[in-house]
């Protein structure tokens, strides 16, 4: 039952990502289809012109000022074209009586797209500034909590977060999802319920719940919950590519493993970057998601990789 629910949630996330990716193309199709429908079905066409405020407002809110204004201009041009060729409610042509109705309507429609788009872009810019500020705060807190660790481990969460964020961007995740992956990576060692972290956050005026970071802590909880049981599931019998885990969890697993392999442990010495990459590649499709491993090969630095034909040290 849980796996069925997770698969349904993943399909919904994929559908949402697809809608946002092709939002502009979908908007154009909707506008043209609605204009044709209104022209052929509705008798009082001019009264229905106010309908176009809704898609223009939606365009301004979701994709910004530029798209909203061009959508409004496109709609106005189509309406004027239909009036010139077929007529909306009377004879065709752009005579003064019709222009006195259509020009103010078109002007307000374009102005609406400009105003809503400008406000949405300003809101998004402030939100991004706020997100970057609390991510930087979390990075500092994580680094401070790791300061007591041994030299090789110190800064590990920061390095994992930087790599995981880049992998998430390369894989096409939206800004909110990238932020959730970075927060989960920063907290994957210490955990969001770590008493030392909560004690530091509690010193913020108003408490932890008043922090902007609280939203991303909630968003990263699912990733951290899945990652906590990650190695209980994946393997030969349950290849990772067949498991319905979130993309953020798969990204965190690859980034954490790549950075961890470069830290010495009691069982093995530290691996070079190219050797760590080879270990990750060996587990692609089973322990690590294939698409994430492909992106890792693209983004990690090739420094330290031996030249082709060179003898590798044993």
Could you write out the DSSP letters of every residue in 104-139? HHHHHHHHHHHHHHHHHHHHHHHHHHHHHHHHHHHH
Mean pLDDT of the chain, nearest integer: 76
Torsion of the alpha carbons at 203, 206, 208 and 214, rounded to the nearest 10:
-130
139 occurs within a structural domain: no
pLDDT tens, 198-224? 555 555 555 445 455 555 566 677 788
Helix or strand or coil: residue 75?
helix
> What b-and-e string marks burial along 125-141, b requiring 16 or more CB atoms within 10 Å of the CB?
eeeeeebeebbebbbeb
Pair 78, 173 in one domain: no
Percent of the chain with pLDDT over 70: 68
Pair 33, 112 in one domain: yes
**Token couple for 313:** 């040290």
306 occurs within a structural domain: no
Pair 292, 151 in one domain: yes
Domain residues for the domain of 91 are: 2-122
34 occurs within a structural domain: yes
* CATH number of the structural domain spanning residue 226: 1.10.3210.10
Pair 16, 160 in one domain: no
Pair 163, 254 in one domain: yes
Helix then strand then coil, in percent of the chain rounded to 5, is: 70, 0, 30
Instruction: Kindly report the pTM of this predicted structure.
Output: 0.59
């Amino acid at each position: 039952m849980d796996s069925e629910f997770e698969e349904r949630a993943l399909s919904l996330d994929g559908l949402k990502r697809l809608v946002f990716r092709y939002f502009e193309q979908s908007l154009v199709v909707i506008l043209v289809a609605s204009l044709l429908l209104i022209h052929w079905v509705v008798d009082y066409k001019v009264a229905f012109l106010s309908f176009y405020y809704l898609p223009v407002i939606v365009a301004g809110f979701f994709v910004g000022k530029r798209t909203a204004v061009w959508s409004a201009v496109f709609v106005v041009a189509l309406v004027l074209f239909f009036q010139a060729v077929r007529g909306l409610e009377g004879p065709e042509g752009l005579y003064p009586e019709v222009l006195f109705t259509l020009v103010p309507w078109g002007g307000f429609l374009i102005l609406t797209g400009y105003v809503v788009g400008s406000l949405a872009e300003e809101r998004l810019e402030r939100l991004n500034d706020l997100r970057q500020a609390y991510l930087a705060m979390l990075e500092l807190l994580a680094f401070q909590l790791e300061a007591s660790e041994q030299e090789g481990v110190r800064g590990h969460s920061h390095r994992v977060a930087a790599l995981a964020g880049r992998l998430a961007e390369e894989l096409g995740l939206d800004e909110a999802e990238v932020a959730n992956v970075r927060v989960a990576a920063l907290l994957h060692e210490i955990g969001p319920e770590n008493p030392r972290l909560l004690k530091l956050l509690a010193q913020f005026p108003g408490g932890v719940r008043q922090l902007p970071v609280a939203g991303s802590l909630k968003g990263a909880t699912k990733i951290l919950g899945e990652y906590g049981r990650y190695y209980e599931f994946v393997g030969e019998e349950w290849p990772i590519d067949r498991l319905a885990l979130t993309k953020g969890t798969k990204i965190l697993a690859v980034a954490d493993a790549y950075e961890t392999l470069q830290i010495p442990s009691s069982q093995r010495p530290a691996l070079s970057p190219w050797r760590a990459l080879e270990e990750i590649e060996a587990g692609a499709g089973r322990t690590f998601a294939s698409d994430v491993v492909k992106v890792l090969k693209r983004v990690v630095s090739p420094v330290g990789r031996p030249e082709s034909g060179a003898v590798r040290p044993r």
